[in-house]
Every structure is written in structure tokens, then in C-alpha cells.
Amino acid sequence: MAQTHAPHPEARVGALANSIQRHQRAALTHRSQRGWRMFKGALAAGSAEANSVTVELLPDGPHGGPTGIEPGETVGVTFRSGHKKCMFSAQVLSRTKDGETDLLTLSWPTALKQLQRRAFERETIPRSEVIPVRFWPDNEAEQDERSPRNVHHGQLENLSAGGMSVKASELLELEQGTVYRCVFAPSQGAQALVVHAKLRHHEAIDRGRASLGFQFIGLEMTSEGRRAVSRIARIVATYQKRRQSRRRPK
């Protein structure tokens, strides 16, 4: 069963409009020359008729609101609507202040993707499947991916539309918060997925190995990324169906 789709335009307008009325919290993703950044916000105003969405940026730590987002740039936005998680990308039209409140006005999205929230539940990879993962720091030059000293290797432990856990054969010297480019093929013979992911946790496990927790970042910002998250959601749904079928009494 597919867990993601591009809704009918009327449904898209309704989901976003209702979330604006509820002042729904949202997460924003932005990429600049300084790398990937994620911000918190709330859908404050906007409509399809006005062809814009205004997001109230929430304070980002003790130093105030986020900086570095300029008109003309693209941001990714994700928010919840009922049992679904919605995502879209949009161009920044303006950035203004309303008193102490930092406001970001975005273009109304031309495409909005919805995923069932269960697609974001981590699903363990069956023991019978070995899925290698290669990853390297995103700030490295493209050609450096082929250099053994810059590429790390591991095995996929679990997967969701929001991230994954990778078991590494050694306790690597990695820094939390670093964004990596990750490559893995969830099924044998299939085209590999290439995603950006932020390292959220890094802990030692048995026999000198490490468990690495990654959060996918920026998939909502491009059509290629949205296709990738659709594919991941379908893979997760397949694993969920297998697990449920094993639990049914024979």
C-alpha cells in the first residue's frame, strides 16, 4: 500500500489552509554555502488566492531568530495535518519584522506531498537482508567520495521516512550534528538511494561496533528528494506488512 501521494489540488489547498488557521507548527530546511540548517516556525497566514504563505520563525536559542535566509532562496517546509505529514518547497518572497516577531513570506506551493505518519515509524530490517550503507561528510568535494579515507561503511539497521539507524563495524570518530551524504539500495538490484542525513546520535554497542542514528534532511526541497521519500515510504510499508503477516495466527 502506498503511503505517500501528491493530493488533488483542492485537497492540497484545504490541508495547508486548515493548518494555517490552526497556526500549525512547521519545520523549515534551508541550504546555503554554510551548509544545511533547520529552523522551527508556525504557519501564520496566507492563502491560495494571495499566492503566498507567511511563516512565523520561532526563536533559535538564546541569540534570537534564525539568520541567513534571504529573498529568492528556496526553503523546505514540513508540517502535520491530521494523520499525515505534509511537505513542500517554496521560494522566499520577503523577510520582515512585526515587533519582535520574525516573519518569512513564501510563495504558495505548486506541489504538496502527503505521507501517512506511520511511514515515520522506524521499521527494523529483517535479519535475512543485509543492506550496506556508504556515507561521507557532505562538505567534502564530490570526487573525495571515492577516497577510502573519506568514506565510512555500515549496515542498515532500521528505516523510516524520517531517518535510519546504521550499524558500523568500528567505533568511528564522528561528530553529532554533521550532515553526511548516504548511499544505500534497500532492495537487491534496485537503484541506490542518495540522501543527505544529519547524525543525531552515536553510541558504542557490542564487540567494538557502533550504532549511528541519522535524520534525513532536505528531501522535501527537490522533486528528486520527494521521489526518494516516496520510495522510502513504500519500502517501510512493505516491511510493516511483512511484520504484521508474521504476527497473524496460522
Residue-range definition of the domain harbouring residue 144:
121-217
Distance CA 180, CA 200 (A): 11
- pTM score, whole prediction: 0.84
Confidence at residue 159, expressed as pLDDT on a 0 to 100 scale:
96
Residue with cell 512547521: 26
Q: Are 96 and 118 in contact (CB under 8 A)?
A: no
Whether 136 and 187 share a structural domain: yes
Whether 9 and 58 share a structural domain: yes
Whether 113 and 185 share a structural domain: no
Residue with cell 497556526: 23
DSSP notation for the chain: ---EE---HHHHHHHHHHHHHTT-EEEEEEEETTEEEEEEEEEEEEETTTTEEEEEEPP-GGG-S-----TT-EEEEEEEETTEEEEEEEEEEEEEEETTEEEEEEEPPS--EEEEGGGGS-EEPPTT---EEEEEETTS-GGGGGSTTT-EEEEEEEE-SSEEEEEESS-----TT-EEEEEE-SSTTSPPEEEEEEEEEEEE-GGG-EEEEEEE-SGGGSHHHHHHHHHHHHHHHHHHHHHHHHHS--
Phi-psi region of 51 (alpha: psi -120 to 50; beta: other; left: phi over 0): left
189: CATH? 2.40.10.220
72: CATH? 2.30.110.10
Confidence at residue 119, expressed as pLDDT on a 0 to 100 scale:
93
Confidence at residue 209, expressed as pLDDT on a 0 to 100 scale:
79
Q: Give how many domains the chain has, as a whole number.
A: 2
**Residues paired with 26 in a beta bridge:** 41, 79
Whether 24 and 110 share a structural domain: yes
Residue 139 lies in a domain: yes
**Residues paired with 101 in a beta bridge:** 98
Confidence at residue 58, expressed as pLDDT on a 0 to 100 scale:
86
Of the residues 57, 91, 117, which one is the last residue of a structural domain? Answer: 117
Distance CA 173, CA 184 (A): 21
Q: What grid cell was written down for 245?
A: 503477516
Whether 62 and 149 share a structural domain: no
Whether 68 and 131 share a structural domain: no
Q: Which segments of the chain have a pLDDT < 70?
A: 1-13, 60-67, 140-149, 170-172, 247-250
Distance CA 75, CA 107 (A): 10
Give the side-chain half-sphere CA count within 13 A for 9: 4
Residue 227 lies in a domain: no
Q: What grid cell was written down for 225?
A: 528528494
